[in-house]
Amino acid sequence: MLDIFESFLKEKFSSDDHTVLSVFKAFDQDNDDSLNNVEFEQFLQQLFKKSAQEYQLSKQQIEDFRYLVNLQQSSAISVSVFSLLWSHCVKSILNPKCALIFLDLQNDYASKLNTDVKLNLFSNLNDLTERPFNNFTCVLDWHPETHSSFYENIDSYKGCLVQYPRQSVDEVTIGDFVTFKVDDNEYRAKLTLKHCVQNTQGAQIVNHLNLPTDCVRILKGTDPMYCSRSAFRDFGRLPDTGLLKLLQEKEISDVYIAGIGLSDGVKHTALESIKHGFRTCVIWDACCDVTSTSSLQMNDPAVTVYSTLSDNGVAIVMTDEVEEMLNCGNRRPEMGYVSLVNYAMAMKKLSSINSSPKIVKIGHANEESES
């Protein structure tokens, strides 16, 4: 079969009824105004490709996709369902709006990196700044000097400590997770050495990073009682950094993440990005931990992070893959799965609103882990 999506991508993207119907008919080979199992599988194989080569989808993946597309579990997919699928899902796959999030690329962190790691990391990061992203955002730690997580400030907060992993308060040390209680509110933090203090040289972006002039800056960790493990919000989930609002206002569909803190900030930002419904990629060779000795070393912490991200729907990509993905030449199934989940949730919400006069607002109550 002619690769209809490749032909489609060469033309101006359109969501009008004529275009959607034309695509539908291309896969409706028996002309019965519905897509049966075989036709739907052909649709998926065409939709998910890399350099014109189809991804080999498993039977379970195809069944999962079918269930998400057609929650009513009918035997075939109708024109009306396909039309909704097109506007709520296929559009983001064929015409994504992509943001690149740089995390913690600051002097205090970069100065601790292994020389080889630093050279490779910033070579890849600068390569990414030349890619055609719709938005570039640099997220920075921006702590007050009195921040509670700084080990140097522990004496000032001893009276607020209610939980710590030592026999006495005087024995707590760097790396310990402790809990402070202020005004009946408890705050959990990992003790670290002072770093990225507001308006200091250590908090500035490294000067060998060629950021675009329109790069947006987002500050996190500005409250003295909160630690920041995600670019979206501080540990404890308050307060919001403003990143989510920015991405929503820009109508971003795909979030790419690169920077320092692979097993901490990068991981938590990626997981929260998925929860917010963004198709999310971590650019593996443009990330590292402060303790990394090689940009691609798969040590135990990195293997664990890789598995956690993959298991939660985050795509792991390399710098040299990004250009093709931004141009939709590489349409990855795991990212398409996120689009389909968003579609299914939108349809379920619409069905609930139409069938019930009472609308219930549901929120997430998940706690952030310490790992």
**Which residue, among 278, 301, 271, 279, has the nearest Cα to 288 in the 3D structure?**
301
Is 4-95+334-355 CATH 3.20.20.60?
no
Q: What pLDDT score was predicted for residue 364? A: 35
CATH tag for 99-143+204-327 (out of 3.40.50.850, 3.40.50.620, 1.20.1260.10, 3.40.980.10): 3.40.50.850
Residue range 185-206, pLDDT digits in tens:
888 888 999 999 999 999 999 9
Which class for 201: exposed (0-12), middle (13-18), buried (19 or more C-beta within 10 A)?
exposed
- Write the DSSP symbol of residue 88: I
Q: What residue ranges in 209-357 does DSSP mark as E strands?
A: 216-220, 254-260, 279-288, 315-317
The pTM assigned to this predicted structure is 0.88
Give the rounded distance of the alpha carbon of 245 from its chain centre: 14
Q: What pLDDT score was predicted for residue 365? A: 34
Residue range 243-293, pLDDT digits in tens:
999 999 999 999 999 999 999 999 999 999 999 999 999 999 999 998 877
Task: At 83, list the tokens.
Answer: 């039309």
Q: Are 55 and 332 in contact (CB under 8 A)?
A: yes
Q: Are 178 and 169 in contact (CB under 8 A)?
A: no
The amino acid at 19: T
Q: What pLDDT score was predicted for residue 352? A: 65
pLDDT above 80 for 370: no
pLDDT above 80 for 354: no
Task: At 169, list the tokens.
Answer: 């308060």
**Residue ranges of the chain assigned to CATH 1.10.238.10:** 4-95+334-355
**Residue ranges of the chain assigned to CATH 3.40.50.850:** 99-143+204-327
289 contacts: CB under 8 Å, gap ≥ 6:
260, 261, 262, 263, 264, 301, 302
Q: What pLDDT score was predicted for residue 324? A: 94
Q: Are 179 and 163 in contact (CB under 8 A)?
A: yes
